Structure 1
Amino acid sequence: MSMADREELVDVGVAQIDITPDYPIRLNGYGSRRTVSEGIIQRIYAKALVIGNDDAGPVVMVTVENCGLPDEFTEEVSHRLEQKAGIPRENFVACFTHTHSAPCLTNAASFIFSADISPEEQEVIDRYTQHLVNWMEAVTMEALTRRKPCRLAWNIGELTFAKNRRTEGGPVDHALPVMKITDADGELYAVWVSYACHCTTLAGADNHICGDWAGFAQEAIEKEHPSATAIITIGCGADANPESRMRPMPEGHLSNREEVFETRLAYAKEHGQALAHEVSHQLQRDAVDITNRPESMFQRVNLPFDKIPTREEWQEREAQGGAIGYHAKKHLEMLQQGQSIKTDISYPIQAWVFGDTLAIVFLASEVVVDFSLRLKRAYDATRLWVGAYANAFPGYIPSERVLAEGGYEGGGAMIYFGQPTQFAPGVEDLVIDTVHEILPEEFLEKHN
């Protein structure tokens, strides 16, 4: 191997660990579910990707097949990795696929059922949450030991099954960024791909553990490329659903639950296969080489809530009953216990920058598509990868447009996350301005 070839190699390690519980547990994502899981359709995993050697300090991404990871959960994993492996907070990112068919975690969308969870069920959730912390630590430590010199390259494909779920024909991001990682011998070692779409092919009536389309995509990629570990993350798809959600279900579906379930499951596999097919296509194309270990940036910004309801307003809402009433009741309990109501959240934003070749942005939680499209207008879209569903799970992050329009993503969903109210106007600019602060100016469109 020539000196030039060696200079293009970057140390990379990957590992995965099965995180499927071997016991029934409440699943997150759909408030209509009222019982523990009924079985396992597909096993779910946490996967670690480590880039860089110990001299420069590696960056670490752990992806988890789960609906959402609370901020304090991610911080606990990060603290452990800093203590055990010297990984600083800015070098660690946790991503989740947002499958709605995975276990509840402690304090993740804690009001989703609009009812208290029984102490027995909560104990199971708390136990699984602690197991997941342990698994994420373990899979990272394994990936650190599995590092070897690799070549990195990336390009952007296209996939069209995501549809705007708020407005027919509304904005979507169909970009499919793909990172190809091959070892020094040219064998495919890992594939990382991201798509901006909800992982909700399966519905609330489907009470089984499953990775949904992202899980089936990983399976299909690894079947097609047996030497590789497939890693899926999610982009700004908070207002996008798989288009199969808009397809008609079999007739008589109210009494034909099994046929409806099998139909949705087939759609999830279809979407996963479509993604895997596009990945295989992109792996055959010329790609942009990445010869740098990434520099990692991390910054928090406070996102303020709108006007907090008064005690009298909480009492009026409690009288309404239902989800709104439960949400108000819990906030009244907080006031009665002398607790203060939050007026903002601390929102983490992260980026990996590979020289002047590629910048990857990690936005926290459920981010609507306007953020991705705006960033791609401001920056050189051929060198930008915008991700979401990372690090924290405080709720939907609306653009100014979506906030003004209202609806579920615009603020209606906040009651299920236990937040006091919707965000105040201006949240979009706070997030975008923070991205501008951490990304190098040379990635801006005006520099090209």
Structure 2
Amino acid sequence: MMKFELRLPVATIRLFVLIGVIACSPPVNAGELFVGAATVSITPDGPVSLTGQRHTRIAKKVESPCTATALAIETRDDDRSIDQVVFVSCDLVAIRGDGGLKNLVLAELGETLEGFSGEKLILNATHTHTAPTLIDGRYKLPETGVMLPKEYREFLVKRLAAIITEAWTKREPAQVAWGLGHAVIAQNRRAVYSDGTAQMYGATNSDKFRGLEGNEDHGVEILYFWNEKDELIATSINVACPSQEVGGRSAVNADFWHPVREALRKKYGEQLMVLAWTGAAGDQVSRLMYRKDAEERMRKLRGIDRLEELARRIVTTWEDVYQVVKADRRDDVLLEHQVKDVLLPYRKVTAQEAEQAAREVEKMTDPKEVWNRRWHGQVVERYETQRKELPNYEMELHAVRLGDVVVVTNDFELFTDFGVQIKARSPALQTFVIQLCGPGSYVPTTRAVAGGGYSAVAQSSVVGPDGAQVLVNETSVLIDSLWRPKQKVTLAAP
């Protein structure tokens, strides 16, 4: 019998080897999961100025402590770190302050955390309107007897650095699961009227009322983390609603996230750290816009207050999802964290808007009007700046893939429509959107700008609808990059 010997060119052999390697290689970012978490009160001991309203409020009592919670996540291949992220959820109105809060925290940390990369740090605010003020000169404050914003920043920075250090140091082998639930927490807070105008918190019991302006997102995106002892050590809960149910009070209050944390830790142990992530919710609120009497009747029949009612809905959803996904845990997952600086066009101020704002500034001679004077005055300043150049808003965008899900960030009070766009375009199984990872300001839709009113006017909005679409596109592109195949490729020797 005649024998045939197949002889292939060296280049062809290399190609076959390369194809085999690609087919058999695991994703480059898969690795053993390590997690650490920590929490701390960020409530000062004495009187403090509160932010979130146009007028000065001095808190002399604490109804519930504002806290910060850190979650450190890392994947490893033996002793080699593959990727990492540290989330810090803060009961603050926004991540702001002279010098940049994140920069101040990183400066405080210095080089003390071995293996930690400062660019992988993400701070977010829950947007409670009963948290201490971070910006100097925001309000007219007493000269004595109250903690000043500069003093509070120094206090806050030390505490944030401490829990980041603790969470990073406590990293241990862990498991993760993710799930989706639903809870009605938010309503769109912009009422639209027959003349085409809109108003935040506008009356709905009027014959001129025509509806609420935009979408609502009732999804609750949740992450669960366990240690090797099978203890729940951390959870992240993403709700598209700011925590400002009691935002007009003059006492420190973490709003509805406090009873959520208390309920979960009471049942699942004090070791459970609860991170609150506010989704795209610039036009949302937990306060009732309609059907108020029926809602109040049900609340009273249950014998709970409004904060407890909102917490009940979140905790019920959390537990329902927990029962479904707790058997689907992962300890070897893909973690990839990308950070990108994106440029978003500033909202252009019209001459008419600048003239109107200037007239408002002239009216304000009372020193107590410092917030309103600043609010209108920055519109005039922006108009003068754009006559010379139209600068961009530079934003640090994070996209973190963890297994089948992704977490993305933005600096703003982003209207919910834009969050829905990001989620709808995402290839991830679940997409977590965290807003207020920076100094804030509303990002309204085109429809909202046409309707006007607080949250949609130039005074409220540094980035407008055009910039929002750039943000949506940049976020979507970055998410897509995390789902492109990434393989280890090794060429065999000829």
Give the TM-score band, short-chain normalised: 0.7 to 0.9
Report the Cα offset of residue 245 of structure 1: 6.2
Q: Which stretch shows the higher mean deviation, 49-58 or 193-202?
A: 49-58
Pairs within 5 Å for 1:283-302: 283-286=322-325, 289-290=329-330, 291-292=332-333, 294-302=335-343
Q: Give the aligned partner of residue 348 of structure 2.
A: 306
Contact 1:335 1:341 survives alignment (8 Å):
no
Contact 1:9 1:184 survives alignment (8 Å):
no
The SS at the match of 1:437 is helix
Give distance in 2, aligned partners of 1:193 and 1:306.
35
Cα 1:222–1:305 change in 2 (3 A) is: same
Could you tell me the TM-score, scaled by structure 1's length?
Answer: 0.81
CA offsets, 1:113-164, max 9 Å, x none? 5xx4455478622111111111111001011121111100101111112111
Q: Give the aligned partner of residue 184 of structure 1.
A: 228
Q: Give the aligned partner of residue 437 of structure 1.
A: 477
Give distance in 1, aligned partners of 2:234 and 2:219.
20
Contact 2:46 2:60 survives alignment (8 Å):
no
Q: 1:213 aligns with which of 238, 242, 256?
A: 256
Give distance in 2, aligned partners of 1:202 and 1:153.
32
1:371 aligns with 2:418: yes
CA offsets, 1:9-35, max 9 Å, x none? 511000111211101011111224x23
Pairs within 5 Å for 1:29-428: 29-32=52-55, 34-52=56-74, 55-70=81-96, 72-81=100-109, 83-85=111-113, 86-106=115-135, 111=138, 116-120=140-144, 124-167=148-191, 168-169=211-212, 170-204=214-248, 206-226=249-269, 227-244=271-288, 266-286=305-325, 289-290=329-330, 291-292=332-333, 294-303=335-344, 304-307=346-349, 315-321=358-364, 325=373, 327-328=375-376, 343-355=391-403, 357-380=404-427, 382-390=429-437, 392-411=438-457, 414=460, 422-428=462-468
Whichever residue aligns with residue 382 of structure 1, its letter is L
Could you tell me the TM-score, scaled by structure 2's length?
Answer: 0.74
The SS at the match of 1:208 is coil
Give distance in 2, aligned partners of 1:297 and 1:151.
22
Report the Cα offset of residue 400 of structure 1: 3.4
Contact 1:156 1:178 survives alignment (8 Å):
yes
The SS at the match of 2:148 is helix
Cα 1:344–1:305 change in 2 (3 A) is: farther
Give distance in 2, aligned partners of 1:265 and 1:99.
20
CA RMSD of aligned residues (A): 3.3
Q: Give the aligned partner of residue 258 of structure 1.
A: none
CA offsets, 1:323-380, max 9 Å, x none? 65554557889999xxx9994432222111124x111111222111011111122124
Cα 1:218–1:341 change in 2 (3 A) is: farther
Q: Which stretch shows the higher mean deviation, 176-185 or 290-299?
A: 290-299
Whichever residue aligns with residue 422 of structure 2, its letter is L
Give distance in 2, aligned partners of 1:120 and 1:308.
41
Contact 2:442 2:462 survives alignment (8 Å):
no
Report the Cα offset of residue 423 of structure 1: 3.5
Cα 1:175–1:328 change in 2 (3 A) is: closer
The SS at the match of 2:154 is helix
Uncovered stretches (5+) of structure 1, i.e. residues with no partner: 1-6, 250-262, 415-420
Give distance in 2, aligned partners of 1:433 and 1:282.
31
Report the Cα offset of residue 403 of structure 1: 3.3
Q: Give the aligned partner of residue 51 of structure 2.
A: 28
Cα 1:331–1:360 change in 2 (3 A) is: closer
Give distance in 2, aligned partners of 1:207 and 1:196.
25
Give distance in 2, aligned partners of 1:366 and 1:312.
26
Whichever residue aligns with residue 307 of structure 1, its letter is V
Identity of counterpart residues, as a percentage? Answer: 21
The SS at the match of 2:81 is coil
Q: How many residues align?
A: 407
Whichever residue aligns with residue 222 of structure 1, its letter is R
Contact 2:64 2:254 survives alignment (8 Å):
yes
Give distance in 2, aligned partners of 1:264 and 1:23.
32
Give distance in 1, aligned partners of 2:389 and 2:262.
44
Contact 2:221 2:237 survives alignment (8 Å):
yes
Contact 1:57 1:87 survives alignment (8 Å):
no
Cα 1:327–1:440 change in 2 (3 A) is: closer
Give distance in 2, aligned partners of 1:103 and 1:269.
23
Q: Give the aligned partner of residue 257 of structure 1.
A: none
Contact 1:201 1:245 survives alignment (8 Å):
no
Cα 1:334–1:180 change in 2 (3 A) is: closer
Report the Cα offset of residue 194 of structure 1: 1.1
Whichever residue aligns with residue 477 of structure 2, its letter is E
CA offsets, 1:214-238, max 9 Å, x none? 1221111111211422221111111
Structure showing greater Rg: 2
Report the Cα offset of residue 88 of structure 1: 2.7
